[in-house]
């Protein structure tokens, strides 16, 4: 059920810039790890490489001991890993239900044509992230930021992941909305989902993670329990230096 | 051989002038102005009307062509590009419609048949079997002068540097106090002026006809794609590649195949190296 | 697929209206309708690729041309029967288009538009040079076999084809394939992030579009009886197709049909008053104004009108 | 439910407007013009027809009915030409069509003419392949007439010009052909290539085909020069002022003659900005630089009083349209109208108009009989304008003349010698 993620010596160069510099870490099945670091540290770039949106310059990415570096994004999703985005960009001219429908669609042209949508499953997913039934027909432009994040979670969940990468899930949310999302993540953790979470809101992040990894300027600078990492000198220096 | 060299240089100089206005818009505004060819069309016909039909001095005809091109550029920016707010697809399509509209206006006013522009400077010099019409030589020299002054302008004036800043990063430029809208409008005006003047030279090199906007548009597109965006020097180099490719093809393979290699070049470069030969690698 | 009885009722009504039309209108009007039908087919084909996925093709005549030239050459030079040559033409369009345009699908935005434009110019120039004994060179070919004679027969043929294509497209686009294609136009990254292969989807859209273009192109030249590269691979032809789809409403099936009918009739109605090139001035000027006013097309204007009306109604 | 409403609205609007479209009045003889409305050649045919109709109406019309003219623009495009023919046939329901179409456009709409069987007269197209269709299928092609000598006759006269002037007077032995890629270009190139060597003794070094969209002729002229031929033979009917003006601009050191359609109008000098000197071309009759008989001269004078825009003098097809339309109406009088196309066709075949100048046959508007074999080319030309290919041209006028523009802007006939008003010369910049 739960997936294991292993990153080995990951390097990504953009021209002369090294965005990821020899990073290695492992997320055990069912574990939840917080990925922290100042702005521009290279957190989102790591997500992009795990998902195959950017190809790493060198290094390995493994899901359940299988190398996925050569797979396309949809194939990686099939392998069990999905992500959300810092800025939710839903399909703007489609209703909430249709947005979720895209996530539920099988990657086969033939099945897309021959098999109709599953409205019950769409509703189920919407409700599982806390969206109400009457919101299904709304357009994304009519939703609050919190609801947009919920929609993004629902669409990601629709791909049936065993591991989720959450990118800045709390950005732009009210205190109440943060609580709702937290509860949602907690309940998924209880169900055995593996998580890698990026967040600037360290207070909200803390209760959701088992361990933390800190990176700065593309390099891993600390890993271990959340409190150990936060107490680390290099980590503190990187935050102070950047902000 | 010398003949090919001479013809190649003359044609390439003209192509560089044609392409540079398009390069400016594509790098500063990041939009594909499919009505760019229409500047050449309007410029050519303006010159024809004032200098050849009304008999004004040739210089006045070129100047008026430039002024009308400039006005057209500003109008296009204000009436089409700004209201569409950076919606690239919409800008591409509306500029295409505009080009067809301007073409039919020209047909309405001047008729469908080709017009011949008198040589701007009459006379021909013969070197090693190649005919060098003074008019074409003048066009090539003028285009070099214009390109060099443009290059100096972009490098050394405040306005030029602001244009560079906007071309690299519109948001960043805005933070540092550059009014991107103003710079954009200036660029559209400049591009219109250059296009219209290029149109006079292009038409005197060849002919005036209502469909004449398509060929220079394709040339401009080829130069920008192959050269990569944002470089006047790149434009100059690639204009010579395209120009010589055409002359070499006509001379050694077949005149009918003249444009084929230009198209192939566009396609191969776009598929193989979308940022162009001299473009910046994008993050 | 969310089909309701009234969908079929409306399609039925539409079809019946079109089929009884020859009883009420002159043959001249039928001829105009024939061209409107073909333009509608081409606009639907363009829309399937560009209107839905947002990959703007400026070289659509390239696809239409493969279909048209294949059947023209087969029937004219090799005496192949049209029943055989048209299906071959359709397959040739799909295969040929795929081979040539597949590399182009990996580039995005304006660059895709430029490659397709360059592709069209390339094929235009090549048709003239490569085996002009087959293609007829710049002049094209005339005296091709025709499928029908007379305005009424031509009308029934074109309207049946148009309706069949429109209905098929409409049905396919109502499936999750349609949803996924529209999703590419809105946010390609999120489609692939939803586990769908964007390349596969784009290829499906492309093949579907090529199928319609090839079929439409092949039947079109067997209606005209001639083929001329200058009229076919012409930026004005691209312009007409794109404008028909956009004016009507891109990303819908009825939009391109409405746009094609509107534009064709506009041109024909202007003919008695403005017989020459002035027609195109009015035509393109109007197209520009309509497009600037509502890039989503008349269809969207219509819906907005209905929505406004509904809101007014509810308030009372 | 919503979109069904608009469908209904659209179709209803379509039905209503289409119905209003169909109610055209039908108490007159309707003539349709098909051709380009923006070219000099198209306008020549249109105006020739307008003037003939005006004169006929002043005399009370035909069969007691007034003649009305409607137009359809082809934009020199094949598809537009087909649409235009359909428009005339089905929307306007014309009785007779007069055409100023170019070859490829006529070839495009010929199948429509065969279908509708509307009496049709071509005044500009000279495509021999259409005459071949008349030979092969006289029944279906019965309503079609072409009152300009066809390509075959044009080429034959050119071959004679080659032998008498180019070879004998100028001493030229080899030629490079520079032909546009059109139906006309292909036909003329083929005919000339076949005959110029055996008959005139001029060797064809090379044939260069160029696209009508060509804008830069410098490399093409360079290629022509490289063949080392004595002169260039051009075949150019579309945008031909471009090639000739560039010839002058580049001062190509090689004589050039041939077919240059833009040089057939008086506007040529202005269009090339005074840069067209030295160009010579074949021209169907009547031509610029050709003396006119009194009837044609009177036509030109009335024409100039009526039209102030270009073309200031109609091209040959303007004369063809003027005389041809008058003949078509006379044939209709005889056949009781245009409805019976076969009957009209038989009456049209008999039309014969002879115009004289100084007591000599000058122009003849008649048609070859079905089985009449022309002596020089040994073939038949049914429904084609009658021409004479050998001096003294007493059966009809020559199929064409060769005219030449001089560097001072004057123009005159250089061949056949009987009609010559000036001598063939080469441009001053060519050192010989």
Which residue has better confidence, B99 or D15?
Answer: B99
List the end-to-end C-alpha distance of chain C, in Å, as a whole number: 35
Q: How far is CA D408 from CA B120, D257, D275, D281, D289, in A?
A: 20, 18, 10, 17, 14
- Tell me, what's the pLDDT at B10? 86
Asked whether at least 3 C-beta pairs link C and D within 8 Å, the reply is: yes
pLDDT for residue D14 is more than 50: no
Interchain contact, D78 vs C26, CB within 8 Å: no
pLDDT for residue C159 is more than 90: yes
The reply to whether D3-149+292-355 and D152-283+400-419 are identical in fold is yes
Which residue has better confidence, B188 or B224?
Answer: B188
- Tell me, what's the pLDDT at B274? 66
Chains contacting B (3 or more CB pairs within 8 Å): A, C, D
Pairing of strands D29-35, D67-73: parallel
Asked whether at least 3 C-beta pairs link C and B within 8 Å, the reply is: yes
Q: How confident is the model at residue B174 (pLDDT cuts 50, 70, 90)?
A: low
pLDDT for residue B259 is more than 70: yes
Q: How confident is the model at residue D5 (pLDDT cuts 50, 70, 90)?
A: very low
Residue of C nearest to A165 (CA): C193
- C30-48 pLDDT per residue, tens: 888 999 999 999 999 999 9
- Tell me, what's the pLDDT at C231? 77
- D42-78 pLDDT per residue, tens: 899 999 999 999 999 999 888 889 999 999 988 888 8
How confident is the model over D290-295, as a mean pLDDT? Answer: 89
- In this structure, the number of other CB atoms found within 10 A of the CB of residue B261 comes to 18
* Residues 6+ away with beta carbon under 8 Å from D319: D48, D286, D296, D299, D363
Q: How confident is the model at residue C131 (pLDDT cuts 50, 70, 90)?
A: confident
Q: How far is B268 from chain C (nearest CA, A)?
A: 9
Query: So where are chain D's domains?
Result: 3-149+292-355, 152-283+400-419
- Tell me, what's the pLDDT at C160? 95
How confident is the model over D172-180, as a mean pLDDT? Answer: 91
- Tell me, what's the pLDDT at A241? 61
* Residues 6+ away with beta carbon under 8 Å from D401: D282, D283, D285, D287, D290, D413, D415, D416, D419
pLDDT for residue D1 is more than 50: no
- Tell me, what's the pLDDT at A164? 92
Q: Does C228 touch chain D (CB under 8 A)?
A: yes
Residue ranges making up the domain that contains B29: 2-212
pLDDT for residue B282 is more than 50: no
Out of A196-205, B179-188, B222-231, C7-16, pick the least confident: B222-231
Pairing of strands D120-122, D144-146: parallel
pLDDT for residue D121 is more than 80: yes
Residue B134 within a domain: yes
Chains contacting D (3 or more CB pairs within 8 Å): B, C
Q: How far is D261 from chain B (nearest CA, A)?
A: 13
How confident is the model over D27-37, as a mean pLDDT? Answer: 89
Residue B196 within a domain: yes
- Tell me, what's the pLDDT at D432? 55
Q: Structure tokens of A53?
A: 């949106």
Interchain contact, B215 vs D239, CB within 8 Å: no
- D323-349 pLDDT per residue, tens: 999 999 999 999 988 989 999 999 999
Beta bridge partners of C227: C141
- Tell me, what's the pLDDT at A146? 86
- Tell me, what's the pLDDT at B276? 64
Q: Which residues of B touch A (CB under 8 A)?
A: 281, 283
SS (H, E, C) chain B: CHHHHHHHHHHHHHHHHHHHHHHHHHHHCCCCCCCHHHHHHHHHHHHHHHHHHCCCCHHHHHHHHHHHHHHHHHHHHHHHHCCCCCCHHHHHHHHHHHHHHHHHHHHHHHCCCCECCCCCCCCEEEECCEEEEHHHHHHHHHHHHHHHHHHHHHHHCHHHHHHHHHHHCHHHHHHCCCCHHHHHHHHHHHHHHHHHHHHHHHHHHCCECCCCCHHHHHHHHHHHHHHCCCCHHHHHHHHHHHHHHHHHHHHHHCHHHCCHHHHHHHHHHHHHCCCCCCCCCCC
- Tell me, what's the pLDDT at D10? 44
CA separation for the pair A71, A78 (Å, rounded): 10
- C299-309 pLDDT per residue, tens: 777 777 776 66
pLDDT for residue A32 is more than 70: yes
pLDDT for residue C64 is more than 90: yes
Cβ pairs A/B, distance under 8 A: 4
- Tell me, what's the pLDDT at B171? 62
Task: Report chain D's mean pLDDT, rounded to a whole number.
Answer: 85
pLDDT for residue B281 is more than 70: no
**In the CATH hierarchy, which fold is given to the domain comprising D3-149+292-355?**
Rossmann fold (3.40.50)
pLDDT for residue C52 is more than 70: yes
- Tell me, what's the pLDDT at D191? 85
Residue of C nearest to A82 (CA): C193
Residue C288: half-sphere exposure toward Cβ, Cα within 13 Å: 22
- Tell me, what's the pLDDT at B35? 86
- Tell me, what's the pLDDT at D145? 95
- Residue ranges of alpha helices (H) inside chain C are 5-20, 27-46, 52-53, 60-78, 82-101, 109-129, 132-135, 151-174, 176-186, 188-193, 198-224, 229-232, 235-248, 254-270, 278-293, 298-315
pLDDT for residue D26 is more than 70: no
- Tell me, what's the pLDDT at D22? 41
pLDDT for residue C313 is more than 60: no
Interchain contact, D249 vs B135, CB within 8 Å: yes
D381 contacts D131 by C-beta, under 8 angstroms: yes
Q: How confident is the model at residue D278 (pLDDT cuts 50, 70, 90)?
A: confident
- Whether domain D152-283+400-419 has CATH 3.30.70.640: the reply is no
How confident is the model over C211-237, as a mean pLDDT? Answer: 89
Q: How confident is the model at residue D243 (pLDDT cuts 50, 70, 90)?
A: confident
Pairing of strands A219-225, A211-216: antiparallel
Q: Structure tokens of B225?
A: 């794609």
Q: Does A169 touch chain C (CB under 8 A)?
A: no
Out of B124-128, D98-102, D387-391, pick the least confident: B124-128
Question: How many domains are contained in chain B?
Answer: 1
pLDDT cut 70: percent of chain D above it: 93
Q: What is the pTM (predicted TM-score) of this model?
A: 0.85
- A37-59 pLDDT per residue, tens: 888 788 888 999 999 888 888 99
Interchain contact, C280 vs B32, CB within 8 Å: no
- Tell me, what's the pLDDT at A243? 44
Q: How far is CA D228 from CA B35, B247, D223, D430, in A?
A: 44, 20, 9, 14
Q: How far is D10 from chain C (nearest CA, A)?
A: 8
pLDDT cut 70: percent of chain A above it: 98
pLDDT for residue C90 is more than 90: yes
Q: Which residues of B touch C (CB under 8 A)?
A: 31-32, 79-80, 83-84, 87-90, 92-94, 96-98, 100-101, 103-105, 107-108, 112, 214, 218, 221-222, 225, 254, 256-257, 259-260, 263-264, 266-267, 270-271, 274
How confident is the model over C54-83, as a mean pLDDT? Answer: 90
Interchain contact, B100 vs C103, CB within 8 Å: no
* Residues 6+ away with beta carbon under 8 Å from C229: C65, C124, C127, C128, C135, C138, C140
Helix (H) or strand (E) run with residue D258 in it: strand D256-260
Interchain contact, D211 vs B256, CB within 8 Å: yes
Q: Virtual CA dihedral for C89, C93, C99, C102, nearest 10 degrees?
A: -170
Q: How confident is the model at residue B169 (pLDDT cuts 50, 70, 90)?
A: low
- Tell me, what's the pLDDT at D3? 43
Helix (H) or strand (E) run with residue C271 in it: none
CA separation for the pair D10, C261 (Å, rounded): 9
**Most trustworthy range by pLDDT among B154-158, B177-181, B193-197:** B193-197
How confident is the model over D386-399, as a mean pLDDT? Answer: 86
- D198-242 pLDDT per residue, tens: 888 888 998 988 877 777 788 888 888 888 899 999 998 877 888
- Tell me, what's the pLDDT at A60? 92
Interchain contact, D275 vs B124, CB within 8 Å: no
- B38-59 pLDDT per residue, tens: 999 999 999 999 988 888 888 8
What are the two backbone dihedrals, phi and then psi, of residue D409, each rounded to the nearest 5 degrees? 95, 5
- Tell me, what's the pLDDT at B279? 55
- Tell me, what's the pLDDT at D55? 92
What are the two backbone dihedrals, phi and then psi, of residue A192, each rounded to the nearest 5 degrees? 100, 10
């Amino acid at each position: 059920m739960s997936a294991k993620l292993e990153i080995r010596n990951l390097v990504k160069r953009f021209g002369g810039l090294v965005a990821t510099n020899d990073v290695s870490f492992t997320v055990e099945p069912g574990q939840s790890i917080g990925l922290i670091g100042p702005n521009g540290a290279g957190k989102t770039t790591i997500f992009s490489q795990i998902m195959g949106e950017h190809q790493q310059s060198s290094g390995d990415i493994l899901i359940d001991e299988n190398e996925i570096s050569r797979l396309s994004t949809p194939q990686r999703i099939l392998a069990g890993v999905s992500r959300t985005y810092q800025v939710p960009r839903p399909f703007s001219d489609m209703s909430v239900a249709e947005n979720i429908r895209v996530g539920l669609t099988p990657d086969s042209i033939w099945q897309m044509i021959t098999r109709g949508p599953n409205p019950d499953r769409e509703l189920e997913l919407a409700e599982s992230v806390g969206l109400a039934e009457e919101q299904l027909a709304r357009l994304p432009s009519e939703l609050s930021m919190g609801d947009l994040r919920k929609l993004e979670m629902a669409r990601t969940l629709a791909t049936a992941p065993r591991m989720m990468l959450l990118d800045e899930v709390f950005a732009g949310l009210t205190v109440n909305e943060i609580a709702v999302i937290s509860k949602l993540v907690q309940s998924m953790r209880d169900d055995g989902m593996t998580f890698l979470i990026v967040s600037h809101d360290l207070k909200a992040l803390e209760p959701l993670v088992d361990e933390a990894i800190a990176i700065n300027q593309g390099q891993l600078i600390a890993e271990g329990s959340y409190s150990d990492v936060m107490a680390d000198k290099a980590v503190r220096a990187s935050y102070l230096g950047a902000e | 051989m010398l003949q090919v060299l001479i013809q190649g240089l003359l044609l390439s100089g003209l192509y560089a002038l044609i392409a540079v206005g398009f390069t400016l818009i594509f790098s500063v505004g990041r939009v594909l102005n499919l009505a760019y060819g229409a500047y050449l069309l309007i410029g050519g016909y303006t010159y024809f009307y004032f200098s050849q039909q009304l008999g004004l001095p040739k210089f006045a005809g070129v100047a008026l062509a430039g002024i009308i091109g400039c006005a057209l550029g500003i109008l296009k920016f204000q009436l089409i590009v700004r209201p569409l707010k950076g919606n690239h697809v919409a800008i591409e399509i509306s500029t295409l419609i505009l080009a067809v509209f301007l073409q039919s206006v020209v047909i309405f006013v001047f008729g469908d048949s080709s017009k011949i522009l008198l040589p701007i400077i009459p006379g021909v010099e013969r070197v090693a079997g190649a005919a060098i019409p003074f008019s074409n030589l003048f066009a090539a020299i003028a285009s070099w002068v214009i390109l060099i002054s443009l290059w100096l302008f972009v490098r050394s004036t405040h306005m030029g540097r602001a244009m560079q800043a906007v071309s690299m990063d519109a948001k960043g430029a805005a933070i540092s106090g550059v009014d991107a809208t103003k710079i954009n409008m200036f660029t559209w005006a400049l591009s219109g002026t250059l296009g219209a003047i290029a149109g006079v030279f292009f038409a005197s090199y060849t002919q005036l006809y209502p469909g004449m906007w398509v060929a220079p548009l394709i040339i401009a597109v080829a130069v920008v794609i192959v050269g990569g965006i944002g470089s006047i020097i790149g434009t100059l180099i690639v204009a010579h590649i395209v120009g010589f490719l055409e002359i070499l093809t006509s001379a050694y393979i077949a005149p009918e195949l003249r444009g084929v290699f230009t198209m192939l070049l566009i396609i191969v470069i776009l598929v193989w190296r979308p940022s162009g030969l001299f473009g910046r690698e994008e993050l | 697929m969310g089909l309701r009885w009234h969908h079929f009722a409306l399609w039925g009504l539409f079809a019946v209206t079109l089929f009884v039309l020859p009883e009420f209108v002159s043959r001249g009007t039928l001829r105009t309708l024939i061209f409107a039908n073909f333009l509608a087919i081409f606009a639907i084909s363009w829309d399937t690729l560009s209107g839905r996925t947002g990959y703007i093709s400026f070289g659509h005549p390239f696809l239409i041309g493969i279909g048209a030239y294949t059947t023209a050459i087969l029937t004219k030079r090799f005496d192949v029967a049209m029943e055989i040559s048209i299906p071959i033409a359709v397959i040739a369009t799909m295969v040929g288009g795929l081979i040539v345009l597949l590399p182009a699908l990996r580039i995005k935005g304006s660059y895709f538009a430029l490659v397709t434009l360059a592709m069209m110019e390339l094929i235009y120039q090549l048709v003239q040079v490569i085996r002009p004994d087959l293609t007829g060179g710049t002049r094209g070919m005339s005296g091709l076999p025709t499928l029908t004679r007379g305005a009424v027969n031509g009308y029934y043929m074109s309207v049946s084809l148009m309706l069949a294509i429109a209905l098929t497209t409409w049905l396919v686009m109502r499936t999750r394939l349609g949803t996924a294609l529209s999703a590419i136009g809105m946010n390609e990254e999120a489609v692939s992030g939803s586990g769908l292969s964007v390349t596969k989807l784009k290829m499906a859209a492309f093949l579907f579009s090529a199928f319609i273009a090839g079929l439409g192109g092949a039947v079109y030249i067997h209606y005209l009886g001639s083929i001329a590269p200058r009229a076919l691979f012409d930026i004005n032809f691209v312009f007409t197709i794109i404008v028909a789809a956009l004016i009507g409403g891109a990303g819908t099936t009825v939009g391109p049909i409405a746009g094609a009918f509107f534009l064709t009739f506009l041109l024909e109605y202007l003919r008695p008053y403005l017989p020459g090139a002035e027609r195109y001035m009015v035509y393109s000027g109007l197209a520009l104004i309509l497009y600037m006013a509502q890039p989503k097309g008349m269809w969207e204007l219509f819906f907005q009108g209905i929505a406004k009306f509904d809101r007014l109604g509810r308030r009372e | 439910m919503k979109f069904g409403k608009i469908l209904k609205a659209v179709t209803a609007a379509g039905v209503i407007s289409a119905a209003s479209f169909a109610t055209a009045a039908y108490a007159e003889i309707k003539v349709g013009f098909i051709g380009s409305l923006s070219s000099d050649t198209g306008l020549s045919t249109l105006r020739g027809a307008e003037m003939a109709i005006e004169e006929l109406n002043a005399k009370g019309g035909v069969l007691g009915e007034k003649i009305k003219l409607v137009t359809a623009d082809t934009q020199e495009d094949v598809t537009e030409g087909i649409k235009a023919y359909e428009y005339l046939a089905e929307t306007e329901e014309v009785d007779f069509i007069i055409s100023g179409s170019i070859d490829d456009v006529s070839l495009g709409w010929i199948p429509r003419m065969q279908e509708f069987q509307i009496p049709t007269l071509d005044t500009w197209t000279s495509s021999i392949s259409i005459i071949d269709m008349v030979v092969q299928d006289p029944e279906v092609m019965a309503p079609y007439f072409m009152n300009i000598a066809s390509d075959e006759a044009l080429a034959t006269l050119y071959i004679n010009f080659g032998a008498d002037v180019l070879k004998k007077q100028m001493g030229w032995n080899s030629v490079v052909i520079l032909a546009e890629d059109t139906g006309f270009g292909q036909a003329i190139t083929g005919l000339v290539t076949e005959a110029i060597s055996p008959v005139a003794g001029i060797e064809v070094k090379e044939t260069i085909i160029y696209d009508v969209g060509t804008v830069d002729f410098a490399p093409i002229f360079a290629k022509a020069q490289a063949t080392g031929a004595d002169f260039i033979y051009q075949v150019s009917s579309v945008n031909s002022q471009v090639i000739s003006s560039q010839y002058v601009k580049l001062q190509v050191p090689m004589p050039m003659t041939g077919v240059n359609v833009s040089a057939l109008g008086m506007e040529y000098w202005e269009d090339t900005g005074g840069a067209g000197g030295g160009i010579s071309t074949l021209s169907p009759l009547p031509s610029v630089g050709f003396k006119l008989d009194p009837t044609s001269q009177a036509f030109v004078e009335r024409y100039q009083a009526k039209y102030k825009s270009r073309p200031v003098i109609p091209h040959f097809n303007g004369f063809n349209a003027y005389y041809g339309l008058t003949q078509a109406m006379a044939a209709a009088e005889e056949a009781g109208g245009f409805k019976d196309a076969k009957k009209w066709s038989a009456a049209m075949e008999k039309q014969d108009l002879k115009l004289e100048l100084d007591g000599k046959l000058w122009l003849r508007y008649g048609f070859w009989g079905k089985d009449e074999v022309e002596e020089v080319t040994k073939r038949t030309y049914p429904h084609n304008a009658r021409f004479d290919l050998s001096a003294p041209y007493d059966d009809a006028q020559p199929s064409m003349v060769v005219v030449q523009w001089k560097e001072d802007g004057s123009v005159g006939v250089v061949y056949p010698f009987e009609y010559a008003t000036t001598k063939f010369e080469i441009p001053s910049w060519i050192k010989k």
